[in-house]
């Protein structure tokens, strides 16, 4: 979609009316960008076929600012939901796409976001099959919110379930943590670092598929530690399964620059959101092979085994510090970083 072809500068309330202007917005931007037979039905819904079991996940994206280093809200909305579907042990196939636009959003920005959505879906191998656009008055929204709901086919070899976690299982983190959150926060706070931090937003579905192809049932759980960071995700797993989790501070993959930014802003990287990292809990005997396989992919090049499931500290996460101390890692309390995704 070329920005210059549009007959309007800004999105206004008429674009959410359900009448001619809505139709123009759809015809000029949405249908042209996402040209596929599903959307071509131009109905209020779409018909698809899924084989076997289906994984579904929904997420609304309210990140602020909507454009940030390393991405924008459109790309994030695709990657975020595609990753959530993948974490179920599934191969993402389709996406619904719903915009809530604040009156006055620049048409250029809308087009740029829609184009990013399209590019991201192409990278993920998913299709946008149905959508919705609402417009709210100025001051009743914040530029644009996006909801995506994703669905995919459960991988035939997958047996993802927190209940299968056992003592001795290893905890693998696929990449450097805290990048997305620190990219957003640095930008909000107007901090300038020597070389700036970029969001790690990316799609993890092919990495997940590759792991399932190779290790099948030996993978017990996938999770992506977004809002609330690694600490909240691991705490939830420990609490839900009544397992003890030990992680080793010196193993946590963290870029120096990100660590420095966290220190300046007084944030613990364990609680900072990630958008291109996942946690895998796997049977002990495949842990090193999993890390090796991940390391071959640029998105998993910093993969590392950070800890294990233990027979003590039931329901809790304990971090062993580099100098031998131990501390309980609690889930995030309070607000921390609002509107990070």
By CB under 8 A, the residues from 261 to 300 that bind a second copy are 271, 273
Among 66, 94, 165, 317, binds a second copy (CB under 8 A): 94
Contact between 134 and 16 under an 8 Å Cβ cutoff? The reply is: yes
List beta partners, residue 317. Answer: 245, 329
If binding means CB under 8 A, how many residues of this protein chain bind a second copy? 83
> E strand or H helix at 260, and its extent?
helix 256-265
Task: Pick the binder of a second copy from 2, 4, 7, 20 (CB under 8 A).
Answer: 20
Distance, in Å, from the CA atom of 306 to the CA atom of 244, rounded to the nearest integer, reads 14
Neighbour order of strands in the sheet with 170-173:
219-223, 279-282, 170-173, 304-310, 244-248, 317-320, 326-329
Q: What's the rounded Cα separation, in Å, for the pair 289 and 268? A: 30
* Stretch touching a second copy by CB under 8 A, among 65-73, 146-154, 245-253, 283-291: 146-154
Instruction: Decide if residue 34 touches a second copy (CB under 8 A).
Output: no
Is 232 a binder of a second copy (CB under 8 A)? yes
Per CB under 8 A, the segment of 28-36, 108-116, 193-201, 220-228 that binds a second copy is: 220-228
One residue of 166, 236, 268, 284 binding a second copy per CB under 8 A: 236
Under rule CB under 8 A, residue 260 binds a second copy: no
Least distance in angstroms from the C-beta of 303 to a second copy: 20
Q: Is 18 in the site for a second copy (CB under 8 A)?
A: yes
Closer residue to a second copy, CB minimum distance, 98 or 264: 98
Residues 6+ apart with CB under 8 A from 324: none
| Interatomic CA distance for residues 212 and 218, integer angstroms | 9
Q: How far is CA 26 from the centre of its chain?
A: 26
154, 63 Cβ separation under 8 angstroms: no
| Sole binder of a second copy in the list 66, 145, 280, 306 (CB under 8 A) | 145
The span of 164-172, 212-220, 293-301, 327-335 binding a second copy (CB under 8 A) equals 327-335
Residue whose tokens read 């290893």: 170
Q: How far is the CB of 258 from a second copy (least distance, A)?
A: 19
Nearer to a second copy, 29 or 77 (CB): 77
Question: Taking CB under 8 A as the rule, does residue 88 contact a second copy?
Answer: yes
């Amino acid at each position: 979609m070329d920005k210059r072809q549009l007959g309007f500068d800004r999105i206004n309330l008429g674009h959410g009316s359900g009448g001619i202007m809505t139709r123009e917005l759809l015809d000029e931007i949405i249908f042209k960008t996402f040209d596929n037979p599903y959307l071509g039905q131009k109905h209020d819904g779409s018909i698809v076929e899924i084989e076997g079991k289906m994984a579904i996940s929904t997420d609304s994206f309210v990140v602020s600012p909507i454009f940030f280093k390393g991405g924008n809200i459109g790309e994030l909305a695709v990657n975020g939901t595609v990753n959530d579907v993948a974490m179920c042990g599934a191969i993402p196939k389709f996406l619904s796409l719903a915009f809530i636009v604040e009156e006055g959003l620049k048409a250029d920005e809308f087009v740029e976001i829609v184009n990013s959505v399209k590019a991201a879906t192409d990278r993920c191998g998913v299709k946008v099959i149905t959508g919705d656009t609402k417009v709210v008055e100025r001051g009743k929204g914040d530029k644009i919110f996006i909801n995506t709901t994703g669905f995919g086919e459960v991988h035939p070899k997958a047996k993802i379930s927190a209940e299968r976690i056992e003592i001795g299982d290893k905890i693998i983190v696929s990449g450097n943590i805290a990048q997305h959150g620190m990219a957003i926060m640095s930008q909000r706070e107007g901090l300038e670092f020597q070389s700036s931090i970029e969001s790690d937003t990316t799609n993890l579905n092919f990495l997940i598929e590759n792991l399932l192809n190779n290790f099948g049932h030996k993978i017990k759980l996938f999770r992506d530690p977004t809002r609330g960071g690694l600490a909240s995700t691991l705490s939830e797993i420990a609490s839900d399964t009544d397992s003890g989790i030990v992680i080793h501070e010196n193993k946590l993959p963290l870029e120096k620059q990100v660590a420095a930014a966290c220190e300046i802003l007084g944030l613990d990287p364990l609680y900072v959101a990630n958008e291109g990292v996942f946690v895998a809990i796997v049977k002990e005997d495949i842990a090193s092979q999993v890390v090796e396989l991940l390391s071959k992919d640029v998105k998993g090049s910093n993969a590392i085994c950070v800890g294990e499931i233990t027979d003590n500290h039931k329901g809790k996460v304990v971090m062993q510090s580099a100098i031998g101390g131990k501390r309980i890692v609690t889930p995030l309390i309070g607000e921390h970083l609002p509107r990070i995704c």
